[in-house]
Amino acid sequence: MTGGNSGTGYETCKALYEAGATVYLACRTVSKGEQAVKDIKKGGTFGPIGITYPKEPVKKSGGSLTVVELDLADLNSISRFVEDFKQ
């Protein structure tokens, strides 16, 4: 689990997904996480100028990507996350 909508978190989620892992993107803003999932599935690479995509289509991964809302600065968000994740 990692904050996966930008930077090294994004690239970590992408690498794990491409390796076939089940990945949970923990993000404060769900819409940003959902966009990251779309970008990862299209093979987008996160860099200093934003997301760039490969010229060739990427092969399907055996992994899965799920966005979960989590703000570590908000105890209520942490409690909701724990309860949702346990199910």
pLDDT digits (tens, 9 = 90+) for 16-43: 999 999 999 999 999 999 999 999 999 9
Contact 43, 20 (CB under 8 A): no
Distance CA(3)–CA(59), nearest Å, equals 24
**Residue 41 corresponds to which tokens in the numbers above?**
């599935």
Distance CA(9)–CA(56), nearest Å, equals 24
Surface-to-core class of residue 65, CB atoms within 10 Å of its CB (0-12 exposed, 13-18 middle, 19+ buried): buried
pTM, entire model: 0.84
